[in-house]
Structure 1
């Protein structure tokens, strides 16, 4: 009997901020991927709770705005449970900040809005992690945030830059938060330029400048994302397959309609 495909659920906050380049990496590694729309879907659905991997994507709201966006309370509770059990969890931008808050750290507005392509500086731990390709001379990532966070207790800082001390962290054996974007490509970003038009205008960021920069990086970005995410996913897959072999065999739960869009 063929082994069960490992399940990955992506929590999406706005439709155009999706898995991007990470989608192909997951597919090639054999993961079964579904989306849940965080503002509208039931975040207590067992499909999410029991997923082998949870990916929390970005979005244009603050991780501290649960009074304005009540669904954030359920999302934070979900993250608290997963991280307490060291279940594989990846947070990107807002997702990284939500992970930090779920771990008890402060998330707050930063001193500067960081939008555009640039480098990050890896710590010694970062150089020894799956993020190591970012130490290469021509490596750049997409920054697109105005908030930041304090490093959670027991988390390990992996990256920083001149603007923000905390750009990426690891927690436990299978938690990774990155405040920047490794998954974005030129096609996906065309939707961002429309969806974030008001923010870009307010920040006086040139869309043409962003287009030119991503065009210059376009050949590198898929390889960079592939190397980083493949390396990060590999031990997760081995670990989850080992758990599955030790577990009592049960029929896989049906995926709910809410979590397959």
Structure 2
């Protein structure tokens, strides 16, 4: 990976490469992919990236440019090395990451629709990726500086995200209640999934812990100190046995409302 990173930063426009995901955090399995964040500034030479990808894989690879994978995930490529190792390139505009970081420091965040993120992409994931990742190549030292800064979760973000997420969770549960009488399972399921996702984000923020996406986030939130007893098991049971009748849906909504109140007692808001 270090060799690939060193060759990647020689591509015009690329300024750094970071190892991310479970490999960076030491929580990977033997078959886990390698996630490499390819940080660029301005225009990135996609043709040069494709040539490099072909050189390291031994065959043609399509590189998807900025925006091809959505406004937040951006673009990248899927590489399979000759030994079968899977490497994901994920493009990141370093100036946009820096701008989002400044917004987070001021307590401002946003979410956006994004394929692969069923509960939306939360903007604090950008600095979170840097904080939790490992710098493999860094042409001007900007990634190292940003990583040092993002190692301290902003107090303003902690307050605004935790409070805002709990409020949204309560609102989502209330919206789900409107679907009980009609047996609208789709609407209820989406609302309650969002509510649980909000509570997971709130607990992470309250403890100043970066939450990058939904995968594994429920179990991680459950392990945080002060989390309501049985939080993960109760949320899992809620979503796994939502029900389809009016009475079953009402019971699920009631449990969601209890979880919201218990998390609100922990984080405030």
What TM-score, normalized by structure 1, do the two folds share? 0.29
With a CA cutoff of 8 Å and minimum separation of 6, indicate the structure with the bigger relative contact order. Answer: 1
Which structure carries more helix by proportion? 2
What TM-score, normalized by structure 2, do the two folds share? 0.29
Compare CA radii of gyration and give the structure with the larger one. 2
